[in-house]
Structure 1
Amino acid sequence: MRIALTHNLRLSDLEEEAEFDTQETVNALAAAIERIGHRLERFEVSGPASRTVARLEAYSPDLIFNTAEGRRGRFREAFYPALFDELGFPYTGSDAYALAVTLDKQLTKLVLSKQGIRTPGWQYVEKLSELSAENLRFPVIVKPNFEGSSKGISQDSIAETLDEVRAKVAAALEKYPSGVLVEEYISGRDLAVPFLESVDNDYDGVLSPVEYVIDPAVTQGRKYAIYDYALKTSREGTVSVRAPAQIPPRTAEDVRRMAQKVYRALDCRDLGRIDVRLSDAGVPYFLEINALPSLEPGAGIYAAAELDGLHLDGVINSIITSAAKRYKIKDSSRRQGKPARKSGPLRVGFSFNVKRVKPTATAEAVEDSEAEYDSPNTLQAIREAIASWGHEVIDLEATAELPSVLSSTPLDVVFNIAEGFKGRNRESQVPALLELLDIPYTGSDPATLSIALDKGLAKKIVRQAGILTPNFQLMATGKERLNKEFTSFPLIVKPVAEGSSKGVVTKSVCHSEAELREVVREIAGKYQQPALIEEYIRGREFTVGLLGERRPRVLPPMEIVFLDREEKNPVYSFQHKLDWTDRIRYDAPAKLEPALLERLRTAARNSFMALGCRDVARIDFRMDDKGRIYFIECNPLPGLTPGWSDLVLIAQGAGMDYRGLIGEIMAPAIPRYKEREARRAASEHPASVLRKSVPLEEGTPAAAQPVAATAPAPASPAPEPSPRMDAKA
């Protein structure tokens, strides 16, 4: 199986990261999963949830092995399972509801009291005024209600008088305002009762109780025998696990029967751990449950599992097996009324135009006929990035034979960067073919690609959406009358339907009408299309990358800083993109005041949405000396040359590596693939699907084995030019 290991990585000794996994633990889990024979990808989820979603959609795992604790809030442990449910990914462990209930100690006790489970007397306190002395039996222990790993518990947590408990509750609420538990202190020993659902025994997977043994040298100076925060963190070497616990057989059976009832009542799945206090009189009291227990090497669950013949790999395999059985991952028929998730890699078509003519710019001439195409080096980098997510990549060079290749090649989804052949609709040609054949693909649809390529039409649309853009006009011959709204020079002239700064050179900034008409004639003759004339906006130039669909993620803007002080009216030209050394500097992220930054981000997001962009785009802006932001153009098929293209530099500035960028671009197309498979399944089995009433967006792809196919070999490229000389920005 393809397994995603989701976790929070502990980077410090701060209490707020106490429940997170150390690098040692992550490495141990990853190694065990791989030894068992699964393909693994690690997912550290402490960053933005949108990035986690994008990466998961890009990887498309068969199963998520989840140890993520979440960062904040009373429902933090439930956040990721709820997210996985929404995305339709199977995962290990209990669901969001069980995790939310079990993190709340007082709610857990309320649920279990109805099952006759013995617990110490307790009070839940959110405000000091709620503390009641009537039912307190001293000594009592004061602990945070919504924390694990003994956070907030020390020798000082125990109070023996009413004044002490008031002071300790007040201090605890100051640090843990969500609420604290005031619980009767039971003198005795700490036991743990682990649970592995797939273990076949008389207790439904409840393992033998284990005991925490504290070094006597440590306990000598302690008044209360409790397994507190210090022992779990800074002094963990002084605590060992004894398996089985040294308790009478009858007591061990009672503890396991009690744990069996607890796990059933709280609907824990796959794994868990219950903490029990065994009083000096031998009476077991339930303290709390951890439905997301530690799996660090040496944890009690491993010691207990060894008694059933399971070592570390066996424990991990048991968890995976339990989850796989629940989701029927190996069942090729149906799972919970949904099409079973496809086993094995997705077949990802990779559509492109390969660059064979090296772009140049000299005083005599400019060669830019294939400037928008991609070099073999760039294509290989993208190909490897897609494959690194575990997918099979099938090359689809956008030649005249592409329609027949598409119709005869089994594909799940297409990663599209093809520019097309000619005309102002050329970028929409491959997506239109894919839509005709009902093949999901990355990037914007044909309508958006056609509109965005036509700079004049794009400007009309964003202007209607209330976004500033310079005044502009189209000229087809250079003989047309110049609009009266152009009250002064300079003006800038460029082809209306080209990308990669094609046709934008130093002389594109015109200082007289005669210069302007000459440049228009050259553009019309060379590019066989009208020229766009627009006001030249003096000021700073920015480009903004966006990723996603309905609510695009706006990456930190990048500024193109012009270094030649003698150049009065600089423009980000074709020459700059071929050789930018000493002429421009890229500041990624741009240095902007917060208010200006937010206005730029808003303009980018609104432009993206006004043009109907999807998955990825890069939008260019100019900001004048008054702070007004002007839309210049939008590129929904931005260049992806590693270390060179603007979007790649923007992503690097945002802390995103190249592989992550490709994964985020690809991610939204995978749910579209799932939706297609769900529609097909519905049309094949309408009665079954209607009975289950499964929303389409929750469907997972129909099971299908990958079909081996030889990728069509691209024609031999010309000698590979330097990346900075041939890449598409």
Structure 2
Amino acid sequence: MTGQRPTLILVHEPERACRDRLLADGFSQKAATEISSYLAQSTDLAPEFGALADACARRGLDFRAVELDDAAVAMAACDRKTTLVWTLTDGIAYFRGGAAPALARLNGLATIGADDSLFALCQDKFRAGAVLAALGLPVPLAGLARGGRWLVEPPASSSGYFVKPNRLGAKIGIWKDSRCSVANEALVLGRRVFDAYRDDVIVQPYVAGRNVRASFLAVDIDAGPQALGIVFVDSGGDFQTMADSMALYGETGSAARAEGRYAEPELVAVGSLQPRAAEKIRQIAARLTTGLGLRDVFSLDFRVEADDTVYLIEFEVCPGLPCFDFRDYCRTEWRLGLADAMAETAARRLLR
């Protein structure tokens, strides 16, 4: 693809492609369906590709949605001066989207989002936590277990532990009993995760408080932490489980809608209830942009206690753009629907 007309390339890995690959690798149908649901935003955004193309056209851009398996050929044919690559779905282990920003760099193409090194880092919670701690950020200490043995023992904890897969997102492998009392119980949970998903588990001291999501999209190129959308995400429980997540997004979310099981968590602006906590989160985001290199589009997950104590749990370089919380952020912060917010973000970079 050559020529002078500016073009936005949106690279995504579909659920079905991931599921077929996992099945071929010997995963059970159940595990493959659960794991591939991480890529639900490809499923959920696909019906809006036409709206994205229209929104881009109104701003003088062409739009092209490219499946990951076709990305290498597509990018090799792109005009370096007029192409912008936006990676919709990331991944380094069970998912492969982290290859897209690396391919863009290989072909000398401009990108939306962080550089490819962060696409790898954010997918490994244990390594990411070590880097975040080195930056002086408030992350819980962690142990790491593989099957039924410790690779790194967790710190002592009077509040118990929280156990989750190290390289799986979208709450995959998080069950109602993922909070446990003692380290030995964490090893049992680790064995269950390993048997189902072949993944290590990260084991952290349980952190009290409410779940908070901070979303960011630099529709304005110069936007900073003040453009963050910071909300409590209340799903009715202490933490969101795999079942909760799968009932909201992708192919399984569509089925939940059809069966009347779809219910979005409540979103409440943190600043309206705990402004000091919201300001701490903005300061953390500023540190992540300067010290880690987050930019353009990302999300951050926190636990916030009633006394404004803030814990950074993890960061995402490919937030779920079609998810209810990110759509709400685009409407609230930028007064735009998702397609227009994405098109405007791309246009301001390509046409600057």
Name the TM-score class by shorter chain: 0.7 to 0.9
* Percent identity over paired residues: 18
Find the aligned partners of 2:42 and 2:138 in 1 and give their Cα distance: 35
Runs of 4+ in 1 over 6 A off after TM superposition: none
| Structure 1 residue 371, shift from structure 2 partner | 1.4
Q: 2:246 aligns with which of 557, 562, 578?
A: 578
| Structure 1 residue 551, shift from structure 2 partner | 5.9
Q: Which moved more, 1:592-601 or 1:529-538?
A: 592-601
1:652 alignment counterpart: 331
2:21 is aligned with 1:348? no
| Structure 1 residue 347, shift from structure 2 partner | 2.2
SS at structure 1 position matched to 2:38: coil
Does the 8 Å contact 2:37/2:246 carry over to 1? no
Does the 8 Å contact 1:489/1:512 carry over to 2? no
The residue correspondences of 1:121-520 to structure 2 (distance < 5 A) are 345-356=5-16, 367-373=33-39, 374-382=41-49, 384-390=51-57, 391-399=61-69, 401-410=70-79, 412-420=83-91, 422-423=92-93, 426-480=96-150, 483=153, 485-520=155-190
Query: Residues 482 and 462 of structure 1: is their aligned pair in 2 closer, same or farther, counting only changes over 3 Å?
Result: closer
Query: Residues 578 and 529 of structure 1: is their aligned pair in 2 closer, same or farther, counting only changes over 3 Å?
Result: closer
2:199 is aligned with 1:529? yes
Give the TM-score normalised by structure 1.
Answer: 0.40
| Structure 1 residue 477, shift from structure 2 partner | 2.7
Deviation per CA, 1:203-246: give whole Å up to 9, x if none. Answer: xxxxxxxxxxxxxxxxxxxxxxxxxxxxxxxxxxxxxxxxxxxx
1:717 alignment counterpart: none
Query: Residues 453 and 512 of structure 1: is their aligned pair in 2 closer, same or farther, counting only changes over 3 Å?
Result: same
| Structure 1 residue 497, shift from structure 2 partner | 1.6
Does the 8 Å contact 2:213/2:302 carry over to 1? yes
Residue type of the alignment partner of 2:298 = A
Query: Residues 603 and 661 of structure 1: is their aligned pair in 2 closer, same or farther, counting only changes over 3 Å?
Result: same
Does the 8 Å contact 2:301/2:312 carry over to 1? yes
Find the aligned partners of 2:204 and 2:183 in 1 and give their Cα distance: 13
Give the TM-score normalised by structure 2.
Answer: 0.79
Does the 8 Å contact 2:146/2:194 carry over to 1? yes
Find the aligned partners of 2:235 and 2:44 in 1 and give their Cα distance: 28
The residue correspondences of 1:552-563 to structure 2 (distance < 5 A) are 552-553=224-225, 554-563=227-236
Does the 8 Å contact 1:424/1:454 carry over to 2? no
Find the aligned partners of 2:116 and 2:289 in 1 and give their Cα distance: 15
Query: Residues 425 and 610 of structure 1: is their aligned pair in 2 closer, same or farther, counting only changes over 3 Å?
Result: farther
Structure of greater Rg: 1
Find the aligned partners of 2:270 and 2:17 in 1 and give their Cα distance: 33
Q: Which moved more, 1:368-377 or 1:475-484?
A: 475-484
* Richer in helix (by share): 2
Q: Unaligned 5+ residue runs, structure 1?
A: 1-342, 565-569, 672-699, 701-729
| Structure 1 residue 517, shift from structure 2 partner | 1.1
Q: 1:607 aligns with which of 280, 285, 288?
A: 288
Deviation per CA, 1:97-139: give whole Å up to 9, x if none. Answer: xxxxxxxxxxxxxxxxxxxxxxxxxxxxxxxxxxxxxxxxxxx
CA RMSD of aligned residues (A): 3.2
Deviation per CA, 1:53-93: give whole Å up to 9, x if none. Answer: xxxxxxxxxxxxxxxxxxxxxxxxxxxxxxxxxxxxxxxxx
Structure showing greater relative contact order (alpha-carbon pairs closer than 8 Å, 6 or more residues apart):
2
Q: 1:594 aligns with which of 262, 269, 275?
A: 275
1:13 alignment counterpart: none
1:705 alignment counterpart: none
2:307 is aligned with 1:626? yes
Query: Residues 530 and 437 of structure 1: is their aligned pair in 2 closer, same or farther, counting only changes over 3 Å?
Result: same
Does the 8 Å contact 1:473/1:532 carry over to 2? yes
Query: Residues 562 and 402 of structure 1: is their aligned pair in 2 closer, same or farther, counting only changes over 3 Å?
Result: closer
Does the 8 Å contact 2:8/2:85 carry over to 1? yes
| Structure 1 residue 583, shift from structure 2 partner | 8.3
SS at structure 2 position matched to 1:505: coil
Deviation per CA, 1:13-71: give whole Å up to 9, x if none. Answer: xxxxxxxxxxxxxxxxxxxxxxxxxxxxxxxxxxxxxxxxxxxxxxxxxxxxxxxxxxx
Deviation per CA, 1:626-645: give whole Å up to 9, x if none. Answer: 3211000001101121xx34
2:255 alignment counterpart: none
Find the aligned partners of 1:523 and 1:627 in 2 and give their Cα distance: 33
SS at structure 1 position matched to 2:187: helix
SS at structure 2 position matched to 1:577: helix
Find the aligned partners of 1:461 and 1:482 in 2 and give their Cα distance: 16
Aligned residue pairs: how many? 318
The residue correspondences of 1:76-87 to structure 2 (distance < 5 A) are none
Residue type of the alignment partner of 2:74 = V
Residue type of the alignment partner of 1:603 = I
